[in-house]
Every structure is written in C-alpha cells, then in structure tokens.
Structure 1
C-alpha cells in the first residue's frame, strides 16, 4: 500500500547534465516510484532550451508535480518556463539533484537523489521567490543567481572544463582570479547609485552557488529579498583569501566584500555579459525585482 501523497510526476530530464548523471540517477529512483505506485512520464531534452519550450508548450501532461532533473541550468529552464507561461499556479515544481554543482538542491538541504524522491513523494510544499529580469522588452525569471564581472567570466571558463566534474568550479575560479580585471559597475539599488570599478557582482536567491560555495549565508528562498554580494577593490592575493572563505560563508565579514539584501536592483552598463542561474546568457542593462512566493516547490 502506497503512503505517497504524490500520485503522478512528470520528469523533465537533461541527459547531458552532470556528465550523464540524470539518466543513471533516474534509474536509481525508478524503484521508489514503482514501489509507491506512482505514475510517471519523462521528457528528455536533446538540446539547449528544449525543456523551456516543452514546459511552455501545450504538450505538458497532467501531473501532481513537475520534477526537474539536471543541473542548475535545467532548473532555470523549468522555473523560467513555469513563470513565463503562467503555469506556476498549476504545476508544483520539484528537484532531484543530478547536475555537477547542484547549488539549488544544496540550499534545499538534500543532495542524495533517493532521499530527495522519498521527500518529494510526501508532498510537503513551500512557496519560493523568483527574480524577474527585464532586458529591454524581454522578461525572464531566475531562481538561483544573476552574476556579473568575475561571476560571468568564471562560469564561461567552467563551461570549458565540464569533463572535470564538480572540481571545475574551483579551478575556473582560480583561473578567473589569475586573469581578473576590474570593470565599471553601474548599479542602482535601494535608491543608491554605484558607479565605480568592481570585480564581481552576484544577486542570489539561494545560499549556495558553484560547487559548495556558501556565497549568501543569509539567503532564504521565501523571504522576499535578493541577497547581493559585491567585491569592489582587491588584489589577487586578497581575492584568493576571500575565495578560501566562500565555503564557510565567512567571506561576508571581509572588509572588501559588500553583502546586502534588497527587493530590486538595476545593472545600468551596456553590453556586459551575465551568468543567469549558471547559464551564460543575456547582457546588461537589466532591471530586476523579486516576485514573492510565486512558485510552489515540493521538497
């Protein structure tokens, strides 16, 4: 007799994430689904944005939960499509950790796939925030991070090191530090305008980013706030010292680090590349605001 409160799950799965982990992990959790008499359907992406277009389309089957399997980019496609399509009100979302970084899942507090699916089947739900991003006439949504400067550059480097697995984020960070250059940061937040050289800007909805980096220790999915991290002026040795503190969250006490919580902000410069939820996409200028408790997450 099944004790599961969830009776039907639709999985959206990126087979290429995490060096092929999602398919292997799906087969591991399949026994939990069968033993609990849970019906399930699976959509496997074949390329970038496939999951986004699938969720946006009319092909989505009726289900109790839409479950994302892949990396943080897969979660982004799922959540962004739910918000853009208006389906966030109809389809609760869940996550099985199966990527390389799994920052979103780590913030949720469960990195073991079998334990994650057992929790999902119990049906406990929370409402989480999203960041609405306006880039000209385009509107999209992020649930993890928006990165500028080194945060974008490091992500580009890590993309080229995917074969190395999770350690690629740390290696990419060190390469980024070795080659770092300041850029002009034009930023408006809390009625304050900042226009000066800076190394890194991150807006976060999650505690973690990369592989285990506790970037925003006070972040909360559901607090209605965006956590802002900035590194302004620092030399390479100082940035290395900050980097070593990222895994404990103690970097926020470094005098070179700014840590704030806001409801909205704008990046005003022209043509600077962005890292949105772990994907290199879009460019400044952007206007961002928090949309409070707009996605139902089964955890």
Structure 2
C-alpha cells in the first residue's frame, strides 16, 4: 500500500512538472461551483464526467450548485480563504464573471486573488476562457481535457480589467467588452441559447447582412504611449477582448495573451457587406484582423461613449457577455492580477498547497 501511494504521488508530480520524488504536500482544496442553467443546461452531466479526473489528482473537493443570480459572487465574497486553494466553475463565462467580481469586492481582495486560483470547466454556450486555455495548451476543446489540465496544477497569470461607468456602476471584467454588432450578436442571440455555439453564427450572419450603424466616440491609450487617441463617428463594431478565442471557431484576437498587460481592441467603422461576410466566414485563422477595414490596437485603457441609435433600439453594452447600462464606459487593464489554472510551462508550476502550507 505504501509503495502504491509513492507511485501515485510520483505520477501526480510528473503530470505537474515536479520532481518525481518531491515531498507530498497536503491535497489541494477545490471549491466547485456548478450553474445548472448555463448554456444548454448540461453542467450536471459535465460534472459527472469530470469529477473522477479531479478526484484522481488527490484533491479535496467541495461542490455547490448555484440557485440564483449572483449566487457565485456571494459565495466568493464570503468564503473562508484559508480553506480554498482554487474555485472551479462548471459553467459558461457568466459564472466566472460573478466569481471574479465577488472576490474583488472583498476587503482582502488583493490577498485572496494572489492565493485562490480560478479554473474553468466548459458547460456553457461560448466558454471563451476554457477554450482559450485549451487552445493554448494544444488540448482538445472539451470538458475532460479542461479537468485534466486543472488536475495537473499548472497555472499562469491573467490580466483583469477595471470597468467604470458614468452614472456610478463599476466592476471588473476578465473577458470582453462589446458594443454595436458585437453586443448585438452576443446579447441579441440569447433567445437561441438552446442552440449552443450555433446561435452566434446564425445571429452574426443576420447582423452582417443588416449592418446596423452606431454613432459614438472611442478613446484609447496604446501600450507605451502617454497620450490618448480619439475616434469619433460611425461604428459597425467595437469588440475589446482579453484573450484569443471567443468560441472554438472564433480566434478573434490572434495577438492576445493572458498576461501581456493589454486589452486587444478591435473596431470597424466602415466596410462593404460582401467583404465582411467573406472575412467572417472563417474566424479560426485570425486573418480577419488583416482586412483594411479592421482596426486592431493593443491598449492599456480605453473609453467608449456610445450615442443612442434609435429610441426603440438604442444599443447595448456587454461586459463579459452581461448587459450593462448604455453609458460612457472606461476600461483600465490591471496586469497579471488573477491566477488561472490549466495552462503554464512546467518551470512555472504553482503548487498552491505547498505555497500556502
């Protein structure tokens, strides 16, 4: 039995990039949050599939199924930080947004986010975070692969955004800000959630054909610059993101990195319909950013001041896929703020149990 335990420990060390004979640390403690209503309501079955993988890693696991909006934010805001090493979200990106904002609302937020990592097991519609992690690790884009990477224990830093609106609303984002066609596709397709990722493709096709126009002002500060650039006028799309992949087939920002201290800001002011449709038919290569009508900037901050499109359809702003007030919005990048499980070089392994023992 002792020999079997040593072999099991050696295998876990090998998977994590640690020396085979490394001292056994206490088990890592995972708090698993499950959103039963995410995506196509498949989170329960996803958890049944992935739970054995995490158990095999020797982790101690506690599970909470969320029951109402912002439940995960409430949990993150009040949990005992001495009893949790990582929060794993079996959901789409919405639950992760809640967890991040719950952690950042704490009086001890700076300490907690340095000691509690976040992991994503995909069970939603888009699953942008888990997709970006799995693509970066060159693993298949599925829940079992996500759980396997989390079990290995590798981690990297992830930039965070501070979001402040004129009118008083503020919070944090880990993924994106969308306006015009971008938010129309994300939020306008909510009624088609049952379709999974297909909802985005079909709604995008319609919006590319209709090509609604919005008026507003976009200001941004490039990485390394002191001053701000200003663009005013007509926009077809503004889409700022914090990572490469939005869906399995959409590499929206090919120059993005998890912790490069910048947001990738893409915007379109004018483009021919056929040209846009041609480029957007395949976003997996990232070549759409080379189109002459696509502006692509690496920025440390940006501010969007949208104007009302029509009284009935004024427009929408989405932060991490969630509807926010239609108001002037400032985004500031907070470099390398969060710890993200599932990706990282062997030399950069962070063993949370050792670090906090």
Task: From the superposition, tell whether residues 255 and 31 of structure 1 become closer, same or farther in structure 2 (CA, over 3 Å).
Answer: same
In 2, Cα distance between the equivalents of 1:207 and 1:55? 26
Equivalent residues in 2 for 1:1-299, closer than 5 Å: 1=5, 2-3=8-9, 4=12, 7-58=28-79, 62-85=83-106, 86=109, 87-109=112-134, 110=139, 111-136=141-166, 137-190=168-221, 191-269=228-306, 272-299=315-342
Which runs of structure 1 show a deviation greater than 4 angstroms over 4 or more consecutive aligned residues? 58-61
Between stretches 114-123 and 66-75, larger displacement belongs to: 114-123
Tell me the alpha carbon deviations over residues 169-221 of structure 1, each in whole angstroms, 9 at most, x when there is no partner.
Answer: 10010122233211113111121111110100011101012452111000001
* Partner in structure 1 of residue 15 of structure 2: none
Query: Per-residue displacement from partner, 1:128-182 (whole Å, max 9, x unpaired)?
Result: 1011101133321111110010111111222110111221110010122233211
Structure 2's unaligned 5+ residue stretches are 13-24, 222-227, 309-314, 343-357
Residue-by-residue CA offset, 1:223-272 (whole Å, 9 max, x unaligned): 00110111110232222123124222110110010011010011123565
How high is the TM-score relative to the length of structure 2? 0.79
Q: Report the CA distance shift for 1:47/1:235 in structure 2 as closer, same or farther (over 3 A).
A: farther
CA contact (8 A) 1:268 1:285 kept: yes
Displacement of 1:60: 7.0
Structure-2 change in CA distance of 1:183 and 1:23 (3 Å): same
CA distance in 1, matches of 2:245, 2:113: 24
User: For residues 244 and 44 of structure 2, what CA distance do their matches in structure 1 show?
Assistant: 27
Distance 2:284 2:202 in 1: 14
Q: How many residues matched?
A: 299
Listed one character per residue, the Cα deviations across residues 21-60 of structure 1 (whole Å, up to 9, x for unaligned) are 2111111122223334322111211232221222123477
TM-score normalized by the length of structure 1: 0.93
Cα 1:158–1:211 change in 2 (3 A) is: farther
Unpaired segments ≥5 residues, structure 1:
none
